Amino acid sequence: MRMDDEPADRQRAVSAAVRRFPQFELPIHRLMDRSEGFQDMCEELAEAELALSRIDEVPPALRESRRAEWQELVDRLVGEVGAVLHADAARKSRVIPWPPR
């Protein structure tokens, strides 16, 4: 990856996650800043969505098997991103303010 592609890649990754989980837009941005693993997951999701959107460019003999593979990958990544977001929300809801009131 070229260095000048990084902001565009990050924006595509954020957009992919926010499209799936709009209620978590702020946590998505926060996690993108602090978790390389989360950022990688979102980048993979964006790439898989892009590949799936271009499935008609695949030769007809391979198209349906590739469509199934890409859809399975998208579904798995959506599940993983969602799990991270829900775990982050659950962790934040258990935070006890200091000092206790």
Is the pLDDT score of 8 beyond 50? Answer: yes
92: enclosing H helix or E strand: helix 60-93
Torsion of CA 93, 98, 99, 101, to 10 degrees: -10
6: enclosing H helix or E strand: helix 6-20
Residue 2 has a pLDDT of 41
CB atoms within 10 A of CB 63: 13
Residue 96 has a pLDDT of 61
Query: CA end-to-end span of the chain, whole Å?
Result: 50
Q: What is the mean pLDDT of the chain?
A: 90
Torsion of CA 59, 63, 69, 71, to 10 degrees: 120
The pTM assigned to this predicted structure is 0.83
Give 3-state DSSP helix, strand, coil % of the chain, rounded to 5: 85, 0, 15
